């Protein structure tokens, strides 16, 4: 059944609406009963909302909503929003990560106050991300990006009595504010050149020709900067190590998986729709070659992330850097787009999307494992992880799966998605990008395996005591691990969908 | 479907073993591991392939279904065996079972994890040797490393962490280089192939479909891909000077793991070299005959000389593995029936004999808790049966006729000597053959000092004969070595059948 | 003792050179740009009303503008959420006890407990 | 008629002054103010080119930017407040427990 | 046709069976498996005799019986049996000596209460089986394989007393030194396969025949490294010769043999008389048709032989231990055989191989008997006067000594004389190399006479010089029996080929051995070889005159040596005269420093090289590997320093990054136009 034949058009935004309503519902619950900390109810509501939104997205996706088969993308409210396969695909990523994070938070926040705020902030941020995926106007992009960002700042600084959390929040906020200013300035410059904020119209104006290549270039670069902040790419990545390290681990998971994916979602759409490469590389006697820009950023980002991660002593910070490295991989999706790429453009973009999906599972899982370790009060360094496997073999196995998958080792999802990504890059002629990625993957194996080594091979220096067996965290981690493993044999539908929906952008 | 069943049963056995209590894990793993043994023997009995699987031969137990459609090239689940892989499958199952038995004594903690990982590794190894789609093959290829990493890292010796991570990272980087090389070849083939099935790729390459890629002409691309793949596999084999992970890994690994490492894992490298470099790019291989032969000779002589300098019994056997695998390279580059066939035969023969040697060293270690030559002498006085088998195994390693090692080495020497890939092959062969003198040197010296002479042991342990279940695997391996040495045709006929098509390959582009 | 602001010139201003550099580059770009004549607004057009209409995706304005309906709703939520977050952060806690920091892997704690500085090295 | 380049130059100057402030000031509140300055640089452009293109898109968007600036300040103040409580000051360079 | 020759495989398999029985069930059997060995070798012996007579009757046997490796599109590697006069003669020798050694072992091992007897008898059985397999091998590969097994068995038996320090070391040395020779042999085997596509000794595709045809231009073969056929055949021949030099303990690979005396004495007898050491010479005889084609090889063989004969003999004169003297005499005697083969005296060398087998087995067993008597003291200076205490041993030993010294009419005289005679006439025919070799061989006769009788006199004559010598341990029938049999053989076997008598007195038809070796495959008989020999003969005063002169001179030298020994040592209280040799004594005691330089090569060259390589491997090769990872980690350590933790720095870097990107892309994209 194709859902929108029976539903009104606005219903296509249902995932975002469901999420927003869930957020409001959480506020309501918190308002009605502010003092009691009914963790189960809050976490359950948030999870249910996320799952419902995800379910709807999946249903739409299977039904072909906004895709070629049902008449193409659905454009709403004066082109401010567009619902197509890509937005639904990313919604699926956001909601699944959100669901895992909220389930895990049930245990993580058990001893905290203000849980209502926490869940509502998470759900609103997810709403913002979903909207980012749908945004079809720079105005909507900016506003929804802020909707995703502002709760994130608060979430990072959520542990008000933890200096790390505060410091992380501060740095995240400051760099974020700066980046959003840069982003806004970029938008203003693009507006100066084209007189429009709606993405297809920007493209249309540019196609008519303009002499203002310099202004446009500056604008595009600054917009790219805004996305680079969101995706934690060089040179806007500086917040990431501290924010991921200092934030409560579920928030780190949320930010490094969902928020990063949201940044990519909007970047993919803005650059492919508003600034088609064939147009902007030939404006006014100059060119704005953002593909080259992203290629450069991709190489620097993945190299910096991996090298810096290699010598970390703190597992969480190592994962933070690895997350930067993965941003570099995903950037290949934009970097490998060429003027005459044809189908290859869709392939590489789709591969990048598929990688982000797999990454959503394995990286969220990894951070949630850290959340579990924090819950156990074991510390954050590699040393502190020594011998965990002897006490918690199932969780350690899951973490092992995440680590090897992140490193791109078979037989896990990370391998096949990385393979698809590099393969598509080569197909587009960017074999050197793939080579860079591959070499970086090899290096990454070193530090990922250190975690594994610590858990399974090292002996704990002091007697290891694990207090509780947090059910929610376990559920989330196992869910992520199973997803990571199953995405190897089940990669076919994922990559097929991703590449189909990506091809629709061109 | 029997291959799928074989792999699945082994996986299942691994899972079952994981959840069993430690007390029963060893025995249960042994019992469970008999299933793949029987399965592989049944396969062997039903085996009806002919020719080379990659070159249009008739593949036994073939399955071929589409798994992933990704871009231009589909990924298939394609498995099957031919005369090259069949012996290696049998070797893998038998050696795993024996290694599991040999682990009963030395593995004293976390048994269920240990035995589970052994079976998991076996499953992946079976996948490596049966996969005929590059992607499937690569998945198994890499998946072998993970259990190995843990097996060395958790149950290894004092420097196990260093050894495990070195092994893991080194071989992974090598795999990556190989992967890049192969994929560039695939892209060079362009539209002439539709999937990553190895037979399809090999046949397209033979048909001269290789085009240019990344600014490289077909010839240059073939060279680059060949070098990349050779590097990748050479690390695994290992070929000097890429061997340094091996002694560390062996010394630190517990005995049963060393057995698997030397017995089967090293063969992955040579198997892949044969399947990829020497089958797919024969012209390039012939063009590189000189450097390859040089590397082979260097491995043989260098490895053997290094073994001579070692004081640790395991290190001796480890370096001698480098030496023995050098013969395989020499045989492969010969491009003669006896050369390539002998190289393949050596994979099996060395698998058995090196397994035997590592186990024998392990049995002595179980009792003495030392492997240093200088720490003991006259062990034969207290452990006559073990010492006897040790001596027999050592002579097998030296290439005693009527044991498998001699057959393999003789085939290789004969094949390499009469090779036509270059004028000077007889000289290289002669140089490599000097390895048989050095190998005798270090093994005889080691035996003289440890096993013979007046009994002396600088340790607190009571040196007595090993229990039956320690010695039994040794005896089985010795018996297999002799059977294979007396009647190499058991495998050699089917190997030749699969190898001969490779020799006929000529100028494809 | 005066408390009025003073102009402080010193080495702390050096990083500011980066901003100057950025400005120079931007100025070069902008000065190189040549704009055609502006279109401007029609004489007497009610700009404010037009902004209002545009905000709600209505087509009644004198001057055209794009639809900001979605942005409007979203920003409403955003302000709400910002308030939510700000209040959470600003609310004063009853107990002032600081928690230990986990961010340095417990090194700080270890140092205080063991009173040793050896952890401080090149990490 | 003021040429459009001058608006751009002005906005660039305001933008860079904002960055200058970020680079040279360590007080978190001054940090916030500098960011506001940068956002307003964008607003100058938007308003100027709204006129230039003859539509109200830019002007309308300016309102949103202002609103968002307010929201940002709200969250920012909240964070600065907890910073003050935890690090006994609003110097942004004090909070450096995490690095490398 | 199921003749007696179809049972030939049983000759090999019976001792192998005894090996399995002794290994598996020896400990449950009386005498530790000795009886199985005796039965098996007796059976083999009987079959060998039958075979011998069948061959004498003109039957031959050349069959492939097992395909070891079947080549698809390539040649097969097979096992087969070749029974011709040469091999049938050798079968008799080997089985007889093996049988006697087994019986003797009852006295030497069982009666002396040795432990590990099953291992001992298993080793003997395998040793015998391997040697028999080697003897009947119908191709070079099979010969090589059994050759190696012989080497293994020598290792196991020499190192039988593994709980002491000496035997394992000697065993190792024996295997290692012969392995060095076998290395060349193996290359030779491979080269023969590569050259001819076959390694058969006989039959239509026998490689000597193919080589002959190739040299005549009737057949083409592969040669390598750009060599001509003659040159390449020489190379191949020399490669195979490497194995011969190693196993037959020829200079310079003879060093293992004296050390091998660490093994039990019956084993020494077996090794020296019939199995291991004989294998080398037998191999040359077996493929003589190939060697005669290359004069260079023949000359080298003759030179090595002549030199070794003299060289070893000189070392034998100063030894104190009875078995050491015998060891050097073995080396020397095999030198004669090599000399004979190199000089074109195929029959002569084979003849000497046979006679030597008997008298050397006799001497070793006799020495064993003495050693039993002396409670395992081997030093001759502690003996003396045993003649009266053990007469059977004495007379048997004397018979062997006379044969060894080459005193007419004992076996050694006839065969050694024929070897020297062949060398002389072919040398006179225009080959100065052979004349030089002859001179060395002749000189060696003198030393042989001297050391042999020095040994006899010191051991059996004079006054007992120690307590044990005065009251020696008695020996039983199982020691005396073999000695008696061999004593008779040593005295008489020379009579089967009395060529000098034939030549001098014109009595036709008493060169039985010559006739016997002539009756065979056309490509393998002595007659055929004689035609191919690249030498011509020269005479001094006619054929008969030369025979007479040669025999007289060699007999004179032998008697001279014996006489000197008589003068010096056949006195009641003999003393060492070695000091008279001056500095030469030291050289001789140290065996011309042959061991020293070989040990130096092993420990002074190879081991340091391997240690340096180990350092290189650990330091450089592995260092590079670890270095790469260290550099990466170091780079990582630097890269992460960018993250200073201070937000202001982040802003600065961010701004700079943005500016740099702006500049770079702007310049590329022409934004500053």
Q: Is E672 on the interface with A (CB under 8 A)?
A: yes
Residues E281, E284, E289, CA angle at the centre, nearest 5°?
155
Peptide bond into D95 cis (omega under 30): no
Chains A, E: CB contacts within 8 A come to: 97
Mutate which: A140, A285, A321, vs C, most C CBs within 10 A: A140
CA–CA distance, B125 with B143 (Å, rounded to integer):
9
Chains E and B touch (3+ CB pairs under 8 A): yes
DSSP string of A249-294?
HHHHHHIIIIIHHHHHHHHHHIIIIIS-HHHHTTBTTB---HHHHH
**Does B68 contact A458 at a Cβ distance shorter than 8 Å?**
no
Q: Is A167 on the interface with B (CB under 8 A)?
A: no
pLDDT at residue C9, rounded to an integer: 66
Task: Identify the residue whose tokens are 């080459």.
Answer: E406
Q: Which helix (H) or strand (E) holds A74?
A: strand A74-76
- Least CA distance to E633: which residue of chain C? C123
Range name among A186-190, C68-72, E568-572 with the lowest pLDDT average: E568-572
Q: Is E522 on the interface with D (CB under 8 A)?
A: no
Give domain status of residue A221, yes or no: no
The residues facing B64 across adjacent strands are B78
Chains D and B touch (3+ CB pairs under 8 A): no
Mutate which: C8, C37, C38, vs D, most D CBs within 10 A: C38
Looking at the complex, report in whole angstroms how far the Cα of residue A500 sits from the nearest Cα belonging to chain C. 27
Q: Is A223 on the interface with E (CB under 8 A)?
A: no
Task: Please list every residue in chain C whose beta carbon sits closer than 8 Å to the beta carbon of residue E637.
Answer: 122
- Least CA distance to A415: which residue of chain B? B139
Domain total in chain B: 1
For E623-640, the pLDDT digits (tens) are 888 888 888 888 888 888
Q: Is B217 on the interface with A (CB under 8 A)?
A: no
For B225-249, the pLDDT digits (tens) are 999 999 999 998 888 888 888 888 9
Give domain status of residue A408, yes or no: yes
Residue B367's Cβ-count burial label (10 Å; 0-12, 13-18, 19+) is: buried
DSSP string of A433-490?
HHHHHHHHHHHHHHHHHHHHIIIIISPPSS--------HHHHHHHHHHHHHHHHTTTT
Which of A404, A420, A438 has its CB closest to that of B70? A420
Mean of the per-residue pLDDT values of chain E: 85
Mutate which: A442, A444, A491, vs B, most B CBs within 10 A: A442
Give domain status of residue A289, yes or no: no
Range of the domain at B290: 2-506
- Phi/psi at B125 (nearest 5 deg)? -65, -40
Question: Which structural domains are found in chain D, ordered by start?
Answer: 4-98 (1.10.287.3510)
Q: Regarding predicted confidence, which is higher, B316 or B213?
A: B316
Looking at the complex, report in whole angstroms how far the Cα of residue A98 sits from the nearest Cα belonging to chain E. 29
**Largest Cα–Cα separation, chain D:** 54
Mean of the per-residue pLDDT values of chain B: 89
Q: Is A404 on the interface with B (CB under 8 A)?
A: yes
pLDDT at residue C117, rounded to an integer: 44
Do B245 and B169 meet the contact criterion of CB atoms below 8 Å apart?
no
Range E530-559 average pLDDT: 84
Q: Is C13 on the interface with E (CB under 8 A)?
A: no
Give the chains touching B; criterion: ≥3 Cβ pairs < 8 Å. Answer: A, E
Taking the C-alpha atoms of E33, E35, E37 and E42 in order, what is their torsion angle to the nearest 10 degrees? 180
**Does C68 contact D60 at a Cβ distance shorter than 8 Å?**
yes
For D26-76, the pLDDT digits (tens) are 888 998 999 999 999 999 999 999 888 888 888 899 999 999 999 999 999
Ranked by mean pLDDT, the top range of A246-250, C101-105, E544-548 is: A246-250
- Least CA distance to B51: which residue of chain E? E72
- Lookup: tokens for A88: 């639904």
**Does E671 contact C26 at a Cβ distance shorter than 8 Å?**
no
The ipTM, to two decimals, is: 0.84
For E344-367, the pLDDT digits (tens) are 888 888 888 888 888 888 888 888
Range of the domain at A486: 301-506
Looking at the complex, report in whole angstroms how far the Cα of residue A326 sits from the nearest Cα belonging to chain C. 22
**Does E165 contact B423 at a Cβ distance shorter than 8 Å?**
no
Torsion over CA: A205, A208, A212, A215 (sign): positive
With cut-offs at 50, 70 and 90, classify the pLDDT of residue E119: confident
**Does B142 contact A419 at a Cβ distance shorter than 8 Å?**
no
Task: Please list every residue in chain C whose beta carbon sits closer than 8 Å to the beta carbon of residue D82.
Answer: 89-90
**Does C15 contact E648 at a Cβ distance shorter than 8 Å?**
yes
Chains C and B touch (3+ CB pairs under 8 A): no
- Phi/psi at B311 (nearest 5 deg)? -110, -15
Torsion over CA: A472, A478, A479, A480 (sign): positive
CA–CA distance, E421 with A6 (Å, rounded to integer):
119
Q: Cβ neighbours of residue B509 under 8 Å, at least 6 residues apart?
A: B208, B210, B218, B219, B222, B283
**Does A150 contact D22 at a Cβ distance shorter than 8 Å?**
no
Domain total in chain A: 1
Do E424 and E436 meet the contact criterion of CB atoms below 8 Å apart?
no
Task: Identify the residue whose tokens are 């020489």.
Answer: E234
pLDDT at residue E316, rounded to an integer: 83
In this model, does residue A391 exceed pLDDT 50?
yes
In this model, does residue C109 exceed pLDDT 60?
no
Q: Cβ neighbours of residue C94 under 8 Å, at least 6 residues apart?
A: none
Range C87-93 average pLDDT: 81
Task: Please list every residue in chain E whose beta carbon sits closer than 8 Å to the beta carbon of residue D95.
Answer: 647
pLDDT at residue C2, rounded to an integer: 55
In this model, does residue B250 exceed pLDDT 50?
yes
CA–CA distance, B215 with B210 (Å, rounded to integer):
13
- Least CA distance to D99: which residue of chain C? C104
**Does E656 contact C21 at a Cβ distance shorter than 8 Å?**
yes
For B437-459, the pLDDT digits (tens) are 998 988 988 888 888 888 888 77
Peptide bond into A411 cis (omega under 30): yes
Q: Is A221 on the interface with E (CB under 8 A)?
A: yes
Give domain status of residue A84, yes or no: no
Chains A, B: CB contacts within 8 A come to: 84
In this model, does residue C114 exceed pLDDT 70?
no
**Does A147 contact C77 at a Cβ distance shorter than 8 Å?**
yes
pLDDT at residue B508, rounded to an integer: 32
Task: Identify the residue whose tokens are 């081991």.
Answer: E607
Give domain status of residue A150, yes or no: no
Range name among B47-51, C83-87, D76-80, E376-380 with the lowest pLDDT average: E376-380
- Least CA distance to E66: which residue of chain B? B487
pLDDT at residue A279, rounded to an integer: 87
3-state SS string for B301-368: HHHHHHHHCCCEHHHHHHHHHHHHHHHHHHHHHHCCHHHHHHHHHHHHHHHHHHHHHHHHHHHHHHHH
How far is CA E576 from its chain centroid? 32
């Amino acid at each position: 059944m194709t859902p929108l034949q029976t539903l009104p058009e606005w219903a296509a935004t249902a995932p975002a609406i469901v999420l927003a309503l869930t957020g409001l519902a959480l506020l309501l619950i918190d308002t009605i009963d502010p003092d009691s900390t009914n963790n189960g109810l809050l976490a359950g509501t948030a999870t249910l909302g996320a799952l419902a939104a995800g379910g709807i997205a999946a249903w739409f996706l299977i039904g072909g909503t906004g895709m070629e088969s049902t008449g193409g993308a659905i454009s709403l409210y004066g082109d401010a929003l567009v619902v197509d396969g890509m937005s639904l695909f990313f919604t699926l990523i956001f909601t699944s990560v959100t669901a895992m994070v909220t389930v895990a938070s049930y245990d993580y926040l058990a001893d905290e106050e203000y849980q209502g705020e926490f869940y509502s902030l998470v759900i609103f941020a997810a709403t913002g991300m979903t909207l980012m995926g749908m945004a079809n106007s720079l105005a909507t992009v900016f506003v929804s990006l802020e909707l995703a960002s502002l709760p994130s700042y608060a979430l990072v600084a959520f542990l008000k009595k933890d200096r790390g959390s505060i410091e992380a929040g501060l740095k995240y906020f400051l760099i974020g504010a700066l980046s959003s200013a840069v982003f806004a300035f970029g938008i203003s410059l693009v507006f100066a050149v084209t007189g429009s904020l709606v993405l297809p119209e920007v493209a249309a104006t540019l196609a008519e020709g303009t002499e203002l290549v310099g202004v446009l270039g500056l604008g595009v670069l600054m917009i790219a900067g805004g996305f680079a902040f969101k995706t934690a790419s060089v040179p806007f990545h500086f917040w990431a190590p501290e924010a991921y390290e200092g934030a409560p681990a579920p928030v780190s998971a949320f930010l490094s998986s969902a928020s990063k994916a949201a940044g990519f979602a909007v970047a993919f759409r803005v650059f492919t729709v508003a600034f088609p490469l064939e147009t902007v590389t030939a404006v006014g006697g100059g060119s704005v070659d953002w593909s080259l820009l992203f290629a450069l950023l991709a190489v620097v980002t993945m190299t910096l992330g991996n090298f810096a991660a290699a010598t970390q002593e703190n597992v969480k910070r190592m994962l933070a850097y690895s997350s930067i490295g993965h941003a570099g991989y995903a950037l290949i999706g934009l970097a490998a787009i060429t003027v005459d790429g044809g189908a290859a453009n869709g392939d590489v973009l789709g591969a990048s999307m598929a990688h982000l999906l797999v990454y959503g599972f394995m990286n969220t899982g990894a951070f949630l494992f850290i959340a579990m370790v924090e819950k156990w009060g074991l510390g954050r360094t590699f040393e502190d992880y020594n011998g965990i496997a002897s006490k918690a073999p199932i969780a350690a196995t899951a973490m092992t799966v995440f680590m090897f998958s992140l490193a791109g080792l078979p037989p896990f999802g990370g391998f096949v998605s990385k393979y698809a990504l590099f393969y598509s890059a080569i197909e587009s002629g960017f074999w050197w990008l793939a080579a860079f990625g591959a070499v970086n993957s090899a290096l990454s194996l070193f530090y990922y395996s250190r975690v594994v080594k610590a858990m399974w091979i090292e002996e704990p220096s002091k007697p290891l005591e694990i207090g509780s067996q947090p059910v929610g965290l376990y559920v989330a981690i196992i869910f992520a691990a199973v997803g990571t493993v199953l995405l190897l044999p089940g990669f076919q539908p994922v990559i097929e969908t991703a590449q189909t929906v990506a091809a629709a952008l061109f | 479907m029997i291959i799928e069943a074989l792999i699945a049963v082994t996986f299942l056995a691994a899972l079952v073993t994981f959840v069993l209590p430690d007390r029963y894990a060893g025995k249960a793993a042994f019992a469970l591991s008999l299933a793949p043994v029987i399965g592989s023997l049944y396969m062997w009995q039903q085996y009806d392939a002919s020719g080379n699987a990659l070159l249009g031969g008739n593949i036994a137990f073939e399955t071929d279904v589409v798994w992933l459609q990704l871009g231009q090239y589909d990924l298939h689940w394609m498995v099957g065996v031919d005369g090259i892989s069949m012996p290696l499958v049998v070797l893998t199952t038998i050696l795993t079972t024996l290694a599991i038995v040999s682990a009963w004594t030395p593995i004293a903690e976390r048994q269920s994890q240990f035995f589970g990982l052994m079976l998991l590794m076996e499953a992946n190894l079976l996948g490596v040797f049966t996969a005929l789609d590059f992607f499937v093959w690569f998945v198994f290829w890499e998946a072998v490393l993970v259990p190995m990493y843990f097996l060395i890292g958790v149950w290894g010796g004092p420097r196990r962490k260093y050894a495990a991570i070195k092994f893991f990272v080194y071989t992974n980087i090598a795999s990556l280089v190989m992967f890049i090389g192969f994929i560039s070849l695939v892209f060079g083939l362009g539209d002439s192939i539709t999937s990553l099935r190895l037979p399809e790729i090999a046949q397209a390459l033979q048909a001269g479909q290789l085009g240019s890629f990344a600014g490289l002409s077909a010839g240059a691309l073939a060279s680059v891909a060949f070098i990349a793949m050779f590097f990748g596999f050479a690390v695994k084999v290992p070929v000097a000077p890429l061997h340094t992970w091996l002694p560390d890994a062996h010394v630190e690994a517990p005995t049963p793991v060393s057995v698997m490492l030397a017995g089967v894992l090293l063969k992955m490298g040579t198997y892949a070299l044969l399947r990829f470099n020497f089958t797919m790019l024969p012209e390039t291989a012939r063009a590189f005959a000189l450097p390859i032969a040089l590397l082979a000779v260097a491995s043989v002589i260098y490895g053997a000389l290094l073994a001579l300098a070692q004081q640790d019994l395991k290190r001796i056997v480890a370096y001698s593995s480098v030496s023995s695998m050098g013969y395989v390279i020499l045989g492969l580059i010969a491009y003669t029936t006896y050369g390539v066939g002998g190289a393949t035969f050596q994979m099996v023969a060395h698998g058995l004999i090196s397994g035997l040697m590592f186990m024998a060293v392990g049995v002595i270690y179980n009792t003495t808790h030392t492997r240093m030559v200088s720490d003991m002498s006259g062990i034969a006085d207290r452990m006559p049966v073990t010492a006897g088998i040790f001596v027999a195994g050592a002579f097998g390693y030296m290439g005693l006729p009527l044991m498998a090692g001699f057959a393999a080495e003789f085939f290789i020497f004969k094949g390499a000597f009469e090779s036509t890939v270059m004028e000077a092959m007889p000289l290289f062969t002669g140089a490599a053959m000097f390895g048989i003198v050095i190998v005798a040197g270090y093994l005889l010296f080691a035996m003289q000092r440890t096993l013979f002479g007046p009994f002396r042991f600088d340790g607190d342990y009571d040196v007595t004969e090993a229990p039956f279940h320690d010695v039994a695997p040794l005896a089985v391996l010795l018996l297999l070595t002799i059977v294979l040495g007396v009647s190499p045709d058991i495998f050699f006929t089917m190997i030749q059948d699969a190898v001969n098509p490779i020799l006929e390959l000529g100028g494809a582009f | 003792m005066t408390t009025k602001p003073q102009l402080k010139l010193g080495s702390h201003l050096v990083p500011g050179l980066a901003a100057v550099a950025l400005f120079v580059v931007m100025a070069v770009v902008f000065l190189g740009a040549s704009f055609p004549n502006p279109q401007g607004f029609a004489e007497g057009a009610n700009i404010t009303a037009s902004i209002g209409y545009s905000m709600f995706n209505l087509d009644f304005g004198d001057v055209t503008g794009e639809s900001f309906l979605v942005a409007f709703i979203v920003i409403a939520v955003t302000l709400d959420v910002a308030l939510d977050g700000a209040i959470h952060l600003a609310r004063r806690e009853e107990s002032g006890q600081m928690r230990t920091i986990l961010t340095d892997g417990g090194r700080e704690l270890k140092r205080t407990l063991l009173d040793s500085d050896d952890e401080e090295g090149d990490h | 008629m003021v040429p459009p380049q001058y608006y751009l130059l002005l906005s660039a100057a305001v933008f860079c002054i904002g960055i200058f402030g970020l680079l040279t000031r360590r007080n978190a509140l001054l940090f916030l103010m500098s960011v506001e300055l940068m956002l307003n640089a964008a607003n100058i452009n938007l308003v100027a080119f709204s006129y230039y293109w003859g539509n109200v898109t830019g002007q309308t968007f300016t309102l949103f930017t202002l609103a968002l600036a307010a929201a940002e300040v709200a969250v920012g103040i909240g964070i600065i407040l907890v910073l003050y409580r935890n690090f006994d000051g609003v110097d942004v360079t004090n909070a450096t427990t995490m690095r490398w | 046709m199921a003749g007696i020759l179809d049972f030939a495989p049983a000759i090999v398999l019976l001792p192998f069976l005894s090996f399995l029985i002794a290994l598996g069930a020896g400990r449950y059997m009386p005498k530790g498996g000795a009886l199985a060995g005796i039965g098996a070798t007796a059976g083999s012996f009987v079959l060998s005799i039958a075979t011998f007579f069948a061959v004498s009757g003109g039957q031959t046997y050349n069959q492939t019986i097992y395909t070891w490796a079947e080549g698809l599109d390539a040649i097969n590697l097979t096992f087969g049996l070749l029974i011709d006069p040469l091999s049938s003669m050798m079968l008799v020798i080997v089985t007889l000596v093996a049988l006697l050694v087994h019986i003797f072992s009852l006295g030497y091992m069982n009666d002396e209460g040795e432990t590990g007897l099953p291992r001992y008898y298993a080793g003997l059985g395998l040793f015998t089986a391997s040697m028999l397999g080697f003897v009947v091998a119908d191709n070079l590969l099979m010969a090589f394989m059994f050759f190696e097994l012989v080497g293994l068995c020598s290792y196991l038996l020499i190192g039988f007393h593994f709980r002491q320090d000496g035997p394992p070391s000697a065993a190792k040395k024996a295997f290692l030194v012969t392995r060095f020779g076998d290395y060349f042999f193996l290359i030779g085997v491979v080269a023969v396969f590569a050259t001819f596509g076959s390694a058969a000794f006989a039959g239509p595709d026998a490689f000597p025949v193919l080589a002959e045809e190739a040299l005549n231009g009737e057949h083409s073969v592969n040669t390598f490294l750009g060599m001509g056929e003659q040159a390449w055949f020489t190379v191949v021949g020399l490669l195979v010769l490497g194995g011969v030099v190693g196993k037959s303990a020829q200079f310079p690979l003879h060093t293992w043999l004296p050390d091998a005396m660490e093994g039990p004495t019956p084993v020494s007898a077996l090794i020296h008389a019939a199995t291991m050491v004989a294998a080398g010479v037998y191999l040359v005889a077996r493929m003589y048709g190939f060697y005669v084609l290359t004069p260079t090889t023949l000359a080298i063989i003759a030179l090595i032989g002549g030199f070794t004969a003299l060289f070893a003999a000189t070392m034998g004169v100063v030894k104190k231990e009875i078995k050491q003297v015998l060891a050097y005499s073995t080396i020397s005697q095999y030198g004669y055989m090599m000399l004979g083969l190199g000089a074109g005296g195929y029959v002569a060398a084979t003849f000497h191989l046979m006679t030597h087998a008997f008298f050397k087995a006799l001497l070793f067993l006799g020495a064993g008997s003495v050693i039993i008597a002396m409670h395992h003291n081997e030093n001759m200076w502690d003996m003396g006067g045993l003649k009266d205490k053990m007469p059977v041993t004495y007379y048997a030993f004397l018979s062997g000594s006379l044969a060894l010294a080459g005193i007419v009419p004992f076996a050694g005289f006839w065969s050694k004389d024929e070897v020297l005679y062949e060398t002389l006439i072919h040398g006179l025919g225009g080959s100065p190399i052979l004349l030089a070799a002859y001179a060395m061989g002749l000189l060696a006769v003198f030393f042989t006479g001297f050391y042999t009788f020095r040994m006899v006199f010191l051991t059996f004559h004079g006054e007992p010089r120690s307590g044990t010598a005065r009251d020696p341990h008695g020996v039983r029938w199982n020691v005396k029996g073999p000695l008696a049999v061999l004593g008779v053989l040593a005295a008489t076997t020379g009579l089967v080929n009395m060529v000098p008598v034939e030549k001098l007195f014109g009595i036709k038809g008493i060169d039985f051995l010559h006739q016997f070796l002539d009756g065979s495959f056309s490509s393998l008989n002595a007659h055929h070889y004689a035609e191919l020999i690249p030498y011509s003969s020269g005479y001094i005063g006619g054929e008969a005159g030369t025979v007479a002169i040669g025999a007289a001179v060699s007999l004179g030298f032998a008697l001279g040596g014996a006489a000197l020994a008589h003068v010096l040592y056949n006195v009641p209280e003999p003393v060492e005269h070695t000091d008279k040799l001056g500095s030469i004594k030291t050289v001789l005691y140290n065996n011309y420093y042959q061991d020293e330089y070989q040990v130096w090569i092993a420990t002074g060259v190879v081991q340091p090289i391997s240690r340096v390589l180990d350092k290189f491997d650990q330091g450089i090769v592995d260092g590079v590997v670890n270095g790469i990872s260290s550099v990466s980690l170091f780079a990582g350590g630097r890269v992460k320093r960018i993250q200073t933790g201070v937000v202001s720095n982040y802003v600065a870097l961010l701004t700079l990054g943005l500016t740099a990107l702006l500049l770079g892309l702007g310049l590329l994209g022409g934004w500053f136009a």
